[in-house]
Amino acid sequence: MCGIVGYTGPRRAVPILLGGLAKLEYRGYDSAGIAVLEDGVIKVHKQAGKLAGLAERLQGYNGQARTGIGHTRWATHGRPSDTNAHPHSDCSGRFAVVHNGIIENYLELREWLGSQGHQFTSETDTEVLPHLVEHFYQGDLVEAVRRVVERIRGSYAMVVLSADKPDKLVAVRQDSPLVVGLGQGENFLASDIPALLAHTRRTYILDDGEMAVLTPEEVKIFNRCGEPVEKRVFEVKWEAAQAEKNGFAHFMLKEIHEQPRALRDTLKGRLAGDDSAVVLKELEIDDGKLRSLRKIFITACGTAYHAGLVGKYVIEQLARVPVEVDIASEFRYRQPLIDEGTLVIVISQSGETADTLAALREARRLGAPVLAVTNVVDSSIAREADHVLYTWAGPEIAVASTKAYTTQLVAMYLIALHLATVRGTITLEERRTIIKELKQLDSRAELILSNGHLIRDLARMYGGAEDVFFIGRGLDHAVALEGSLKLKEISYIHAEAYAAGELKHGTLALIEKGVPVVALATQKNLFEKTLSNIKEVKARDATVIALAMEGQKELEKVADHVLYIPPTNPVLAPVLAVIPLQLLAYQMAVVRGCDVDQPRNLAKSVTVE
C-alpha cells in the first residue's frame, strides 16, 4: 500500500527521499512523487508509473533542498495518474502533503472548501488536506495541522511540508503506520522501517492520535490533546541486509529459501529441552481459563487466513475445542457470537492490515481476550492485542507471503500443543512425537528447496496454462487454497482450489483435456479418497501434478508428475507441502515474465479497508 518518507537535515534531500521510496516499493504502488523546499519555494515532482521513471526524470537534478517529503501511491480514490500522484498542494503552493489511508468525509470537505474558493486539481481524497492546512494556517503550522485533524474522519498517516517553515515537518497518524527515524543533526519519517535502515535504527513508532514535529535538531511528539509525550526509543534489531535480495533474483525467492531459518527462529526458546512441552511465556492466560474455553475464533486476511484454516484443523484435533475461522473483513461486520469464554486469535504478518485490526478491536469490544500472531514487533495489532505470539520470519518484502505463512503455521502448532497440554487432550508421548517432528521441519524444508529445479521444469511445461485447479482433502485443502492464491496473485493465471470431494458437485464440468490439476495427497488417512478424485480428473484428461509424502509410489501410475515431500507427521505436512507450491507459483510467474515481487494491483500491507 502507499509509502511515505520524509527528511530534514543538512544533506541533500532528493537522493535520500528517492532512496527511502525505493525501499518501500515492495508495498505496491502505481505512482510516485516528492516535494522539496528550495529557496523558500516548494517544488513538486511526481508522476504515474514506477519510481525508476521519477528517478530518471530527476537525474542530474542539482537542487540543494535539505527538507522534503516523498510518497508512493496505491490508488484508492482516483485512478493512477500524474495529477493524482502525491504530494498534493494547496492553492498557494505554500503547503505540500503526503498521505496514506482514506479521508472518509472528503466529499463534504471538498464541497465546503470549494465554496470558500479553493481550486482542486486531482480526484483524490488527499487533496483536501493541503487546502485545509491553507485554510487554518495563521503562522503556526502545528496548530493548523491540529485543526485539520479535528475536521477529518478516516484513517491517515500524513506529513506536511510548509514553505514558511524551512526545516520543519509535521506528521500525524491515525490507523495507518508512521515511524520517526532519529538521526544526529537530521531526522526522518517513514511509513515502514526498511526506508529508514540506511540511516538509523533508532525510531519512535507513533501511536494513533499522535503528532510528530521534526526539525534537524529535535523531534517533539504530542498526543491528541496537544500535550507533549515521552516516547520510548524502539531500536530496530534486524539488519538492513535482511531487507535486501542477497543475490537472489527476487525477494520472493529469497524469502522462500529463508524458510528453514525462519522455522528454526520461530521455534527457538518455545520448546522444553526434553521435547515434552511447548513453552509459551507470551500466552499469559491462566490454565483455568484455557481449560474452560468454549470456543476459539481465528480471524485474518488472505494468506494469514489460510494459516488460520490449518490452525482450525490442528487445534480441534489436538485440543478438542471448537474453532471457527473467519475472514477479518467479514468477521468485523457480522456481529460474531463471542464472549469472555471465547479466545480470538488474529493472524497478520504486517500487524497493520486494516480489516484484521478492526476485527481485533471488535473482539475486544465484545469482551473476548485477543491473541495476536504477527511478524512485526510493535505493530498496531501487536500493541492492541492482549497477548502476542511473534513469528520470527524476519522482514517479508515480496508482496506474496511465503515465510510468514509457514511461521504462522508453526505458531498454530505451538498454540494447539499448549492448549492440548493444559486441557489434557494429548498424552506426553504424542506431544513428544509431534515436537520431535516440529524440530526437523527446517532440515526437511531444506531438502525440498534443494530439489527446486524439478519445479522449474514443470513451470516451463505449464507456464502457458490459462486455468489451474488445486485439490486436496482436510489439511491438504487448506494448503491447496494457499497454493492457488500464490499462483493467481503473481502469475495472473486463473487458479482455484477445491476440497477434492467437492469437485463432482459442479467444478468437474471445467476439467477438460490438458487442464493442469495440482492434487495434494499428503494426508495418510485420506489418501485413498484423494486418489479416487485424481482418477476422476484423469478420466476427463486433466494433467495431474500430484504432491505427496515420499513412499506413495502408487501415485506415479495415475498422475502425470509427482512431487514428493519428506515424510513427517501428517498434521505438520502443510509446512512442507506449501513450499513446492510457492516455488511453482514463483517459477510460473518468472516464465510468464511477471513482476514477481510487486504484482499488479496488489500491496504488501493493506492498511485501508
List, by residue number, the catalytic residues. Answer: 2, 604
Q: Which residues bind ligand F6R (CB under 6 A)?
A: 301-304, 348-350, 353, 356, 400-401, 485, 489, 605-606
Cβ contact 199:181 at 8 Å: yes
- Measured from the CB of residue 300, what is the shortest distance to ligand F6R in angstroms? 6
- Measured from the CB of residue 371, what is the shortest distance to ligand F6R in angstroms? 15
Q: Which amino acid, 414?
A: L
Q: Which is nearer to ligand F6R, 406 or 605 (CB)?
A: 605
List Cβ neighbours of 479 (8 Å cut-off, separation of 6 or more).
306, 310, 472, 520, 522, 573, 574, 577, 578, 581
Phi, psi angles (nearest 5°) of residue 242? -65, -20
- Measured from the CB of residue 390, what is the shortest distance to ligand F6R in angstroms? 13
Phi, psi angles (nearest 5°) of residue 293? -55, 135
Q: Give SS3 for 474.
A: coil
- Measured from the CB of residue 178, what is the shortest distance to ligand F6R in angstroms? 17
Q: Which amino acid, 536?
A: E
The partner residues of 327 in beta bridges, in order of sequence, read: 300
What span, in angstroms and rounded, lies between the C-alpha atoms of 286 and 291?
A: 9
Cβ contact 528:548 at 8 Å: no
The partner residues of 520 in beta bridges, in order of sequence, read: 547
Q: Which is nearer to ligand F6R, 383 or 524 (CB)?
A: 383
Give the HSE-up count for residue 343: Cα atoms under 13 Å, Cβ half-sphere. 28
* Angle made by CA atoms 565, 571, 574, in degrees to the nearest 5: 45
- Measured from the CB of residue 375, what is the shortest distance to ligand F6R in angstroms? 8
Q: Give SS3 for 172.
A: strand
What span, in angstroms and rounded, lies between the C-alpha atoms of 250 and 236?
A: 24
Q: What is the DSSP letter of 283?
A: -
Q: Which is nearer to ligand F6R, 174 or 605 (CB)?
A: 605
What does the block give as the cell for 275? 521435547
- Measured from the CB of residue 190, what is the shortest distance to ligand F6R in angstroms? 17
Q: Which is nearer to ligand F6R, 8 or 356 (CB)?
A: 356
Mutual angle of helices 475-491 and 302-319, in 10-degree steps: 170
Chain centre distance of CA 63: 36
Query: What is the helix (H) or strand (E) element at residue 390, kind and residue range?
Result: strand 387-390
Q: Give SS3 for 171.
A: strand
User: Which residue of the chain is nearest ligand F6R when measured via CB?
Assistant: 302
Q: Which is nearer to ligand F6R, 214 or 399 (CB)?
A: 399
Q: Which is nearer to ligand F6R, 187 or 353 (CB)?
A: 353
- Measured from the CB of residue 511, what is the shortest distance to ligand F6R in angstroms? 26
Q: What is the DSSP letter of 152?
A: -
Cβ contact 483:585 at 8 Å: yes
- Measured from the CB of residue 355, what is the shortest distance to ligand F6R in angstroms? 8
Q: Which is nearer to ligand F6R, 7 or 586 (CB)?
A: 586
Q: Which is nearer to ligand F6R, 171 or 481 (CB)?
A: 481
**Size of the chain in residues:** 609
Handedness of CA 419, 268, 349, 236 (dihedral sign): positive
